[in-house]
Amino acid sequence: MSDQRVTISVVLPVFNEQDVLPGLLNELVEHLSEVSGGYEIICVDDHSTDDTWSIINAQHQTNPHIKGVRFRRNFGHQLAIFAGIRQTRGEFVGVMDADGQDPPAVLMEMFHKCQDDYDVVYAVRTNRKESFFKRCAYALFYRFYKLIIPFPVPLDSGDFSVFRRAVADFIAELEEHRPFIRGLRSWYGGQQIGIEYDRPERRSGDTKYSVVKLMLLGLNGAVSFSKVPLRLISVLGIIVSFLSFIYGLYLLALKLTAGINLLGWTSTTVLIVFFGGLNLFVVGIIGEYIGDIFEEVKRRPAFLVDQSVGINE
Ligand code: UDP
Ligand code: MG
């Protein structure tokens, strides 16, 4: 980090967004130029395979406020944001997607709100223009997430937000391998507030998040902040033991009164299959936590930077 402060730094994680990026940067610069005290835009290229990196370089040549970092390989959206936050030096830091789904006008609104003595202002999506399936999945996820997380987390809010330097420093100093930015931001606490916006569709190209990737993101968000899934296993164990005890009593009564004549092949098979599945499920949940520990204890760097432009100059 250089000593020279700016008022606001905007972090843009970018992966193969050559069609959207130039327009978005123009729009952003138009808004940010009005901020007194200066601005910077940190584009983190998550190893794009299209012209994204040359666009970032060209943009830096015409406007040195636009800077770039390029990953050595694709490390994912969350690590791109994380790496970007580490490079910021603004009094305020904004995070937004580079596909046009997070409008610059809303970023500015959050920035102004944040200046009213808030630590964090996050955007809450009201009208999602996404498929029915995706909307249901999001709605379910955020509600479940809220239930199991031991601190307040807003519903329907992603990474799109503006926060103060202190929050950025807190995140930048972490050494987690799978940072879940929106969770860490909530974990910080302080004065936080949401503002609502209609989330538009991406301007061009396809989502880079497959359903599987989204589910992994959700799983990571749960595992990295909550022990509730582990506790649920204990509760499940107690419930199952209790039910099997009742079932045992029932069988005993049957044996003493009517006698059992080789009845119960179906129930035995069903029970074996059911508990086999349940066992695997439970081991899978524990495995998620062990996998996380495994990642962390190796102490490899979370990401590798290949090139950068305009950083530390
Ligand atoms: N992105 C990234 N690395 C990836 C996938 C996505 O940096 O591996 C960026 C992408 O360019 C965009 C943001 O993360 O700026 C959000 O991705 P996307 O729009 O595909 O996700 P969605 O909005 O569909 O959840
Ligand atoms: Mg998007």
pLDDT for 313: 67
Pocket test for ligand 1, best of 41, 55, 77, 202 (most atoms within 8 A of CB): 77
Atom of ligand 1 nearest to the CA of 81: 7
Tokens 């970092």 sit on residue:
69
pLDDT for 1: 45
With a cut of 50, say whether residue 96 has pLDDT above it: yes
Distance 302 CA to ligand 2 centre (A): 23
Say how many residues make up the chain: 313
Percentage of the chain with pLDDT > 70? 97
Q: Which residue has the higher pLDDT, 164 or 248?
A: 164
pLDDT for 50: 96
Tokens 């989330």 sit on residue:
199
| Mean of the per-residue pLDDT values of the chain | 92
- Closest residue CA from atom 22 of ligand 1: 207
Long-range contacts, 164-167 (Cβ 8 Å, 24+): 164/91, 164/92, 164/93, 164/114, 164/118, 164/119, 164/120, 165/90, 165/91, 165/92, 165/93, 166/119, 167/93, 167/119, 167/120
- Closest residue CA from atom 24 of ligand 1: 207
Note the pLDDT tens digit of each residue in 196-245: 999 888 888 888 888 888 888 888 889 999 999 999 999 999 999 999 99
Q: Which of 128, 183, 193 is nearest to 162 (CA)?
A: 193
pLDDT for 207: 83
Helix (H, G, I), strand (E, B) or coil at 96: coil
Query: Which strand (E) or helix (H) includes residue 257?
Result: helix 228-257
Note the pLDDT tens digit of each residue in 67-79: 999 999 999 999 9
Give the span between the Cα atoms of 228 and 235, in whole angstroms.
10
- Closest residue CA from atom 23 of ligand 1: 207
pTM of the model: 0.90
pLDDT for 3: 55
pLDDT for 288: 93
Domains of the chain: 6-206+302-309 (3.90.550.10), 228-297 (no CATH)
Note the pLDDT tens digit of each residue in 9-58: 999 999 999 999 999 999 999 999 999 999 999 999 999 999 999 999 99
Give the span between the Cα atoms of 145 and 160, in whole angstroms.
18
Tokens 């004065």 sit on residue:
191
